Each structure stands twice: as C-alpha cells, then as structure tokens.
Amino acid sequence: MGSIILGRRTLLVASAGLAAVATGRGTAAQGAPVRIGELNSYSRMAAFCIPYRNAMQMAAEQINAAGGVMGGRRLEFIFRDDGATPGDAVRVAEELLTRENVAFIVGTFLSNVGLAVADFANQRKRLFFATEPLSDAITMTQGNRYTWRLRPSTFMQTRMLVEAARGRTQRRWAIVAPNYEYGQSAAANFKRLIGSAIPGAEVIAEQYPALGRVDAGATVGALAQARPDAIFNVLFGPDLTAFVREGNTRGLFERRFVLSLLTGEPEYMIPLGDETPEGWVVTGYPWDKVEGATHRAFVEAYRARFNDTPRKGSLLGYVTVQVLANMLTRANSLDNEVFLDTLRDLRTETVVGNVTMRGIDQQGTMGTWVGETTQRNGQGFMRNARYADGADYMFPEEEVRAARRA
C-alpha cells in the first residue's frame, strides 16, 4: 500500500498540533469567551458524532492555549443532542440561541435535520454552519444566505465515485439507498452522472429501505433477482453492516463491481471487520496513510488524548474548528452579517490542505478520499486511495445560480 500525499502544503505548525489561527499569540486566551452552539445526533449516530465532538473539543483547547480568537477570547462550544429529528433539532437550536446566548449554531448529521435547521437559521437571520449533512438542497434549491456547509455534498462525493468508474464496462446497475433525503439525492445524482462515465449504463433495480430498519434479506434478495452487473450503495452505519453480511452470505457481491458512498470511513469500516468486502470503490478516510506533518500532528494528538484512532468525524470536527477560528479572528466581531461577509470565499489552511468556503453556493471545498476496500487480519481498510479535492467536484456555477434563484 502506498502512502497518500496531500496536494498542498499547509501553513500550520506540526509541533503545535493546531496553531492559533491568525492571532500570532502564544499565551492563554483572556476575556469573555465566544460561545458557539453545536447540535448533533450524539445518541443515534454516536459512531460518527462522538469522535467529531472529541476532536472539536481538542481543537478548541489547542486554539485557546495558543491565544484564542479575536485578539485573545476563548472558544467555548455548547453541545446539545438534536434528537435526530427535525422538530427536536429546531427546538434545541432555539434554546441555544435564546437560553445559552451563543453567537451562532453549528452541526447536525442527518440531511432532513440539517435542512430544518437551515430553514430555522434563515428565519432567525443567524449563521448556521452545517458540518455533516450531505443534502445538496442545503446549498442549492433550499440554500439561504445564513447557511454554509463544510463537508463535501452528496453530489460531490457521488461524482468522485462515478469518476472512479470511468472506463468500466458494467452497464446494468442496481441502487440501494436509505429512504430519506440523502439517499434519494445520491440516487438521483448517480442516475444523472453514470452515463457520462459509462456510455449506455442504465439503472435496472432500486431498493430504498427505511433508515435504520433495513430488511437485509429482502433487500439483498431483490437485488440478486435483478441480476445487475454492478451496484451503487448508499447505506451506512448498522444498515450497511447488515447489508454486507447478508450480501456476503448470498454471494451478491461475487463478480460484481460496487461503488459505495462513505463505506471507507472508519466509523463504518471498523464494524465490518472480517466481513469487509474486497475491491469496493468507496469514499472514506485512510487516516494512517495520509502524509503531511500537520495531519500527522493531528493524529498523534488525537491518539494521545483519546487513546483511540481518529474517525472521519474526528477529522471533520477538527477542520470545522480551524475554519471557524479563522472566520472569527478575521471578522473580529460577533455580528452575524460580518460573519457572512467574512465566510464568503474564506481560505483556511487546515490539516487536509486549503479549504475555501465558496461564496456562490456557500459550500466548502473540503474533499475526501477515494479508494478500494480490502482487509487484513480481520480488519477492513482502504487501499490505493487518493485525496479528491472538493473544489474539483462542485456544482457548476451556472447551475448553482439557477437553483438558488428558483
């Protein structure tokens, strides 16, 4: 397995783990803290969200030790569970703004929850920095001036996978995806894009099990009956584990090419263990193969602090704080309109290289890794992985303008 080399130098100092962004200070931060409200599905999606929170806390502590933000103010995150439902999330967001008096809100995991909080932020005219939800609608058809998103969207990650399938000969495809906004959007993106990579490709079967309640036997049986040449999988978490186990048992994946969103993320790879399928092309995070001094410093600090290896959530939480700290210091204000002006085309040097918050759709250019699944000694991992820069996979600007005008 070769090492993965990031395509850009970062400006952060490896020995510091996370240098104070734009402060140049080395003493403990002073003054009233900048309070940020963070809401997420910590109970229902713990495998991703707990490592994410851990890394956010670690990054905030490092920034505070290095001098804080806005000339010496401490970062303070107020974490709340969003109940993994739109109604609970909006209630929690309101409480964070009114009772906790936070400057703005951050987070959410599920796409339907993220969309609800984005609408709430627009109504309240307060910044919402969406970190994890992948819904294209957040920055496209339902985009609003107060909502920004960091993680590469469903369209971006699907496009990365489809590009990896270019030149393949499999034309008969089946789709399996969770039956909510993220899964439906991923399926629509795949149908839109696959023909450009494989001329003549068609979708001959589709399965949309309920999120968290997949009937793996019925789903695998239906896909096998359709006899596709290849499969596009969007399931994640326990649904993915159940699907892979049943698919392995019934031989669904034998001699079939598989593209699979998110499967290479440690949150979902670790539970697969020795059931990890061979040769799926996936998006993910091969944390132990990423080169670069600042990324290595992040990994070492995380392992020392939590006695565990970082997950994709860990990386996302850390980069989130890097971007927000940069925004706050450059804004030097807690006015929401100043936040929005500062975020527009803001460049931040992070542990994955430059991340720019593109102004036209308020989508970050943070990328992810594309590679193949394999296993060794009962553990799954990614091989032949490369970092796909999000800037290369975003919606065309003319499409963004049309969607956000509609």
Tens digits of residue pLDDT in 275-284: 999 999 999 9
Most confident range, picked from 5-9, 12-16, 140-144: 140-144
pLDDT digits (tens, 9 = 90+) for 124-180: 999 999 999 999 999 999 999 999 999 999 999 999 999 999 999 999 999 999 998
Query: What's the chain's average pLDDT?
Result: 92
Instruction: Supply the pLDDT for residue 260.
Output: 98
Q: Which CATH architecture has domain 24-153+291-367?
A: 3-Layer(aba) Sandwich (3.40)
Residue 16, pLDDT > 90, answer no
- Give the span between the Cα atoms of 45 and 50, in whole angstroms: 8
Which whole number is the average pLDDT over 209-220?
A: 95
| Mean pLDDT for the stretch of residues 18-44 | 71
Mean pLDDT of all residues in 337-363: 97
Per-residue pLDDT tens digits for 372-405:
999 989 999 999 999 999 999 999 999 999 999 8
Q: What is the pLDDT of residue 151?
A: 96
Total residues found in the chain within this entry:
406
Taking residues 172-198, what's their average pLDDT? 96
Q: Is 381 helix (H, G, I), strand (E, B) or coil?
A: strand
Per residue in 94-115, pLDDT (tens digit) is 999 999 999 999 999 999 999 9
Tokens of 89: 């999330």
Residue 18 has pLDDT above 90, yes or no: no
Tokens of 280: 């799926």
Q: Per residue in 239-250, pLDDT tens? A: 999 999 999 999
The DSSP code sequence of 155-218 is HHHHHHHHHHTTT----EEEEE--SSHHHHHHHHHHHHHHHHHSTT-EEEEEE-PPTT---HHH
Q: What is the pLDDT of residues 313-333, one digit of tens each?
A: 999 999 999 999 999 999 999
In the predicted model, is pLDDT for residue 9 greater than 50? no
Q: Tokens 């401490």 label which residue?
A: 74
Domain formed by 155-288+369-392, architecture: 3-Layer(aba) Sandwich (3.40)
The structure tokens 């969770």 sit at 178
Predicted local distance difference test score (pLDDT) of residue 27: 44
Instruction: Read off the pTM.
Output: 0.91
Secondary structure (DSSP) of 26-88? -SPP-SS-EEEEEEE-TTTTHHHHHHHHHHHHHHHHHHHHTT-BTTTBPEEEEEEE-TTSHHH
The per-residue pLDDT for range 32-89, each reduced to its tens digit, is 999 999 999 999 999 999 999 999 999 999 999 999 999 999 999 999 999 999 999 9
Give pLDDT, residue 20: 37
pLDDT of residue 406: 64
What b/e sequence results for 123-142 when a residue is b if at least 16 CB atoms lie within 10 Å of its CB, and e otherwise?
ebebbbbbbbbbbbbbbbeb
Residues of the chain with CATH 3.40.50.2300: 24-153+291-367, 155-288+369-392
pLDDT band at 29 (very low <50, low <70, confident <90, very high): low
Specify the higher pLDDT residue, 367 or 2: 367
Residue 25 has pLDDT above 50, yes or no: no
Query: What confidence score (pLDDT) does residue 12 get?
Result: 38
DSSP H or E stretch at residue 317: helix 312-331
